[in-house]
Amino acid sequence: MSVGLDYAQAAEARKLFQVQRSIGEGELLKLLAVIFKAFVDSVRVPHKPDAADLIELAETVMRKYSHDSLKDIILALKEARTSGRNFFQELDQGKIFALLNEYFDKKAAFLESRHLDQKARGASAQSQAVATLGDLAPKLMQQLADRIPDDHPNHDVLRARLSLQKQRWRRGLPTPDPEEFRQQQHAAAFRNPRPDWQARPDAPLGETGKYVRQLRAENEQQRLRNSA
């Protein structure tokens, strides 16, 4: 049961009060007494606690460490046995409680260190996410700004202008500066709210309409040359 056991596993294991609810107080008391008996038998000293002392020890531990696990008790005893601890010819309840207290001090230091590490990793990941978002935010905002509203009066014309411009870029034809084109497109798409505005079918073409007509003509000429 103690093979491969460490502080993390002991901390995640079921607590004594949970085991008590599951199997009953009497069974838990017997289980603790057996664990302490196995530990006492493994220590080579002439003076050891007897059965009554072990039962009393088990009951005290069950009350005092109710929110720690059986694996905590097992790991504490294992560390005491494998660390070369010297009991000076006698093992009593006081020495067992001393080694338990020493174990829980080390466990508390481990849990605190793990918490700080997790907190540092979380802060690092959060900083990285914020930095990534900071890099993407301007692009996302710009894409949103460049989107043409569906209800824009010149929606079709502006979309056609974008399509023609992309075709010219793909075919290697002369194109205006990308940043300048983006600014023109953004300026053309922007409009102040005008709920009373009505389209005029007979309205003359503006600069954007003339530019789109020119692009269409150039695109048609290029298509004819390619098909010839």
Task: Give the residue numbers spanning the domain of 170.
Answer: 148-194+202-227
In 3-state terms, what secondary structure has residue 15? strand
Question: Are 214 and 168 part of one and the same domain?
Answer: yes
20 pLDDT higher than 60: yes
134 pLDDT higher than 60: no
222 found inside a domain:
yes
Residue pLDDT, tens place only, 170-179: 777 766 666 6
Query: Which one of 12-21, 42-51, 86-95, 197-206 scores highest in mean pLDDT?
Result: 12-21
Question: Are 92 and 183 part of one and the same domain?
Answer: no
Question: Are 208 and 154 part of one and the same domain?
Answer: yes
65-88 as b/e, with b when 16 or more CB fall inside 10 Å?
beebbbbbbbbbbbbbeeeeeebe
Question: Using CA atoms, how far apart are residues 2 and 160, in angstroms rounded to an integer?
Answer: 73
140 found inside a domain:
no
127 found inside a domain:
no
Question: Are 45 and 93 part of one and the same domain?
Answer: yes
Cβ neighbours for 167, distance < 8 A, ≥ 6 positions apart: 219
Question: Are 11 and 109 part of one and the same domain?
Answer: yes
DSSP letters for 149-166? PTT-TTHHHHHHHHHHHH
Question: Are 109 and 166 part of one and the same domain?
Answer: no
Q: CB–CB of 90/98 below 8 Å?
A: no
Question: Using CA atoms, how far apart are residues 97 and 101, in angstroms rounded to an integer?
Answer: 6
55 pLDDT higher than 70: yes
132 pLDDT higher than 90: no
33 found inside a domain:
yes
87 found inside a domain:
yes
Question: Using CA atoms, how far apart are residues 159 and 169, in angstroms rounded to an integer?
Answer: 15
Q: Phi/psi of residue 47, each to 5°?
A: -110, 115
The domain tally of the chain equals 2
Q: Residue 149 has what pLDDT?
A: 65
Q: Is the pTM of the predicted complex or chain greater than 0.75?
A: no
167 found inside a domain:
yes
Query: Residue 144: pLDDT band by 50, 70, 90 thresholds?
Result: very low
Q: Residue 56 has what pLDDT?
A: 92
Question: Are 11 and 62 part of one and the same domain?
Answer: yes
